[in-house]
Structure 1
Amino acid sequence: MSHTLTPVDDLSGLGKRTLSERLRTSNTFWIFLVLLVLLTMFSLLRPETFPTFQNAQLLLIETSVLLVLAVGMTFVITTSGIDLSVGSVLIFSGMVAAKTMEGLSPGGDASAAGWGVITVGLVAGVLAGAVWGLVNGLLVAIAKIPPLIVTLGTMGAALGAANLLNNGSDINTVPTELNQTLGYGTSLGIVPNIVLVAVVITALGAWLLHTTRFGRYTYAIGSNREAARRSGIGVTRHLLLVYLLTGFLAGIAGFMSLAYYNSTTIAAHTMDNLDAISAVVLGGTSLFGGVGSMIGTVIGVFIPAVLTKGFNIVGIQDFWQQIALGAVLIAAVWFDQQRRRSRNSR
C-alpha cells in the first residue's frame, strides 16, 4: 500500500534525529557561529575599543531600524515572495510623518511640538507605510503580478512620492522631544528606547511566525502554495495581510529613523531593502519559501553590522566589507540550496 508523507510523519522523523544532526543542517546555528567568530576576532584585534559597552550600545542602536524592516521581510520571503520597496516606503513614511508634524506646528517649525502632534505624525507615517503594503498585496495576491515586478515598481513610486512631498529636500525640523525620547533616550539609563521598540516588535514577530495560525499559514504557502489552497487556506487573503504587515512595519521603521537622525535622511535609506533581504537570507530564511526563523533574522541583521563596525575600528577599507558580506551571503544561499537538495533526495 502506498503511503503519502504527512506533516505528522515528517515531524516524527525530525524528532528521531540527534542534536548534532539538527545542528549540522541548521542555517541559524552556522550563521550564529559566524557571528561569534566575528565578535571574537574583532575583540582580540581591538580589545580596548571593540568589546566595550559604548560600542555594543551603538551597534544595537544602528541595527534597530533595519531589524524592524527585516521582521516584515522574514514573513514575505517565507511565503517565497520578495519586497524591494521597503526602503522607499520607509523614506515615504518618514516624510509623511515629518510633513504632518510640520503642518500642525505654528510657523511650520515642529521642533517645539508636543506629544499630541508627535502622535498624529506617528499615525500618519505608519498608515502611509500600510497603504503601500496594501498596494503591494493587492497587486501580488489579487492581480497575480510577480512580487519582484510589483515591488520594483512601488520602490520607485514610493521614493518619487517622498521626493515630491518636499521637492526632493529633507525635512530637518523634527520635534526635539521625539529625538530626545525615542531617538537618544534610554530606559534605566542603560537600554536605548529605540532598541526597546525594535526588541518588542521582533518578539511579537517571532510569536506571530512561530506560534500562531498566521505563522503556520505563512510556512504552508511558502512550501507549496497550491497545496495550501487546496487544504482550505485563504492564500490570497493571507498574502495580502503579509504585504500589509511589511508595509506597516516599514512605516514604524520610518518613524524610528526620523526620531534617531532628526531628519528624513532620504539618501541614507536607498539600500535598506537589499540590507533587509540580505539579513533575512543570512539568518537562514529560504529564498525558495517555506523556511524562516526570526531568531535567524536577528543574527543575520548583526552580521553586516558587526563587519562594518569591526572593519572601521580595525581600519580596513570599506571595499573589503562589501566583499566579506557578499561572500557570507553567497555561502548562506549555497548552504540553503544544499539542504533543500538533501531533503528532496530522501
Structure 2
Amino acid sequence: MTDSMKTQEAANISALENAPAGWRARLRGVRQASMLYLLAALAILIIVFGAMNPGAFLGAYNLREVFTEAALLLIVAVGATFVIATSGIDLSVGGVLVFSGVISTEVMSAMGGKGWGAVVVGLATSLACGAIFGSISGLLVAKAHIPPLIATLGTLGVSLGLAQVVTNGADLSGVPETLTSGIGLGQLFSTIPWIVVIAAVVTVWAAISLRSTRFGQYTLAIGSNKEGARRAGIQVDRQLIKIYVLAGTLAGLAGFLNLARFATTSIAGHSTDNLQAISAVVLGGTSLFGGWATIAGTVIGVFIPTILQNGFVISGVPPFWQQVAVGVVLVIAVYIDQLRRRSRDK
C-alpha cells in the first residue's frame, strides 16, 4: 500500500470516527433496541418451552445439550457473520462441514483410528478441507465476480456431492474413542462441555478481531462501500478471499467437533445448517446488506433456532415443523434487518 493510499485510508477512518454525535447515538439506540427485542424473544421461548415441560426442558442434561448444539451452530455462524458483513452470503457451510468430517474420518481411520496423534491429524485435515473450499468460494466471488449466492451454492453442491461419493451415501463411523470421550463427552471442571469451551474461544477471538483489528475494520469497510474501500487502499479481493477462507475453516472445525459429539459423519443431518446460521446472524443484528456486524448479537441469535428445535423435540412436535420454524425465523430476521435499515436511514 502506497503512502498516499495509507493517508486516504486514515482520512476515511477518521471521518467515520468523527461522524455527527446525533447520528451515532441514533444508530446505537436502534441497535440496542433490537438487542433488547431479541433477548425478550429468547426469554419468551425459554419460558414457553419451560412451562410446557419443565422437568425435561430445564433439566441439567438438556441444558448442556442446548449449549452444545448451539456451540456447533455458533462456530459456523461466526464465519457467516464476517461473510454477511461484506454483503455476501455463504450457502456452502453445511456441505463443507460434512465433507470435512468425512475426509477427516477417513484419514483418522487410515492411521489406525486411535490416540491423540490421529485426532490431531484429523483436526488438521478437517480445517484444511474447510479452508480449501473457502478459498474456492472466495476466488469465485472476488476474482471471477460470480455472485456469492451462486458461487457458494455451487461449492455446496460440490462438497456435499463429493462427501457422498466418498461414502457411497452412508455415514462413516470408526471415529477415535479418544476424540469422542476426550472432546465430545469431555467437560471442563466436570461441568462445561469442551465443545462449548472451544466455541467460546472462537467467539471471543471473532469479537476482538471484528472490533479491534484491521481485518475486522476492512471487512466492515467492504460491506459499507466496496468501491470506497478499494479507493482507500484496501486490497478488497484479497480480503474477500480471506473472509471466505475463514468461514470455510470454521465450517471444517464444526465438522470435526460434530464427529467428536456423534462419533459419525451425519451426512443427512446438516441440510439446514446454512439457513440456521444466516438466520442467527441476521436476527442478531448483522446487516444482510453489509457494513455492520455484531458477534454478541450472533451469539444471542444462535440460541433462537437452537431452542426452537430443542423445544419442538421435547414437546413431541414432528420434525417437519422444525424446518418450517427455521424458514419463518429467517424471513423474520430479514424483515427486522430492513426495519433497522429504515430507522438508520431516517
**Normalising to structure 2: TM-score of the pair?**
0.90
**Which residue type is aligned with residue 302 of structure 1?**
F
Answering whether residue 263 of structure 2 is matched by residue 281 of structure 1, we say no
Give the 3 Å change call, closer, same or farther, for CA 16–193 of structure 1 in structure 2: closer
Counterpart Cα distance in 1 of 2:156 and 2:83: 15
> Which residue of structure 2 lines up, in the alignment, with residue 104 of structure 1?
111
The partner residue of 1:65 within 65, 72, 76 is: 72
Would the aligned equivalents of 1:23 and 1:29 in 2 still touch at CA under 8 Å? no
129-138 or 303-312, larger mean C-alpha shift: 303-312
Q: How does 1:76-225 map to 2 (within 5 A)?
A: 76-105=83-112, 110=113, 113-225=114-226
Would the aligned equivalents of 1:286 and 1:292 in 2 still touch at CA under 8 Å? yes
Give the 3 Å change call, closer, same or farther, for CA 11–197 of structure 1 in structure 2: farther
Would the aligned equivalents of 2:87 and 2:289 in 1 still touch at CA under 8 Å? yes
The alpha-carbon deviation at position 343 of structure 1 amounts to 2.5
Give the 3 Å change call, closer, same or farther, for CA 187–325 of structure 1 in structure 2: same
Q: How many residues align?
A: 334
Q: How does 1:16-35 map to 2 (within 5 A)?
A: 16-17=25-26, 22=29, 26-35=33-42
Counterpart Cα distance in 2 of 1:248 and 1:320: 31
Instruction: Please list every run of 5 or more consecutive structure 1 residues that lacks an aligned counterpart in the other structure.
Output: none
Would the aligned equivalents of 1:209 and 1:216 in 2 still touch at CA under 8 Å? yes
Give the 3 Å change call, closer, same or farther, for CA 33–115 of structure 1 in structure 2: same
> Which residue of structure 2 lines up, in the alignment, with residue 44 of structure 1?
51
Across the aligned residues of Structure 1 and Structure 2, the Cα RMSD in angstroms comes to 2.1
SS across alignment from 1:48: helix
The alpha-carbon deviation at position 12 of structure 1 amounts to 2.2
> Which residue of structure 1 lines up, in the alignment, with residue 7 of structure 2?
none
Identity, in percent, stands at 49
**Normalising to structure 1: TM-score of the pair?**
0.90
Answering whether residue 267 of structure 2 is matched by residue 266 of structure 1, we say yes
Counterpart Cα distance in 1 of 2:251 and 2:210: 18
Counterpart Cα distance in 2 of 1:152 and 1:235: 22
247-256 or 156-165, larger mean C-alpha shift: 156-165
Counterpart Cα distance in 2 of 1:296 and 1:194: 20
Would the aligned equivalents of 1:25 and 1:339 in 2 still touch at CA under 8 Å? no
> Which residue of structure 2 lines up, in the alignment, with residue 10 of structure 1?
19
**Which residue type is aligned with residue 45 of structure 2?**
L
The alpha-carbon deviation at position 247 of structure 1 amounts to 0.8
142-151 or 335-344, larger mean C-alpha shift: 335-344
Would the aligned equivalents of 1:70 and 1:277 in 2 still touch at CA under 8 Å? yes
330-339 or 122-131, larger mean C-alpha shift: 330-339
Instruction: Please list every run of 5 or more consecutive structure 2 residues that lacks an aligned counterpart in the other structure.
Output: 1-11
> Which residue of structure 2 lines up, in the alignment, with residue 234 of structure 1?
235
Q: Which runs of 4+ in 1 moved over 6 A?
A: none
**Which residue type is aligned with residue 10 of structure 1?**
A
Counterpart Cα distance in 2 of 1:311 and 1:248: 31
Would the aligned equivalents of 1:27 and 1:336 in 2 still touch at CA under 8 Å? no
Per-residue CA distance 1:297-330 (angstroms, 9 max, x = gap): 1111110111122233334444554444444432
Counterpart Cα distance in 2 of 1:232 and 1:259: 43
Counterpart Cα distance in 2 of 1:134 and 1:290: 22
Would the aligned equivalents of 2:86 and 2:219 in 1 still touch at CA under 8 Å? yes
The alpha-carbon deviation at position 276 of structure 1 amounts to 1.2
Would the aligned equivalents of 2:278 and 2:330 in 1 still touch at CA under 8 Å? no
Per-residue CA distance 1:176-206 (angstroms, 9 max, x = gap): 1110011111111100111111111111111
Would the aligned equivalents of 1:219 and 1:291 in 2 still touch at CA under 8 Å? yes
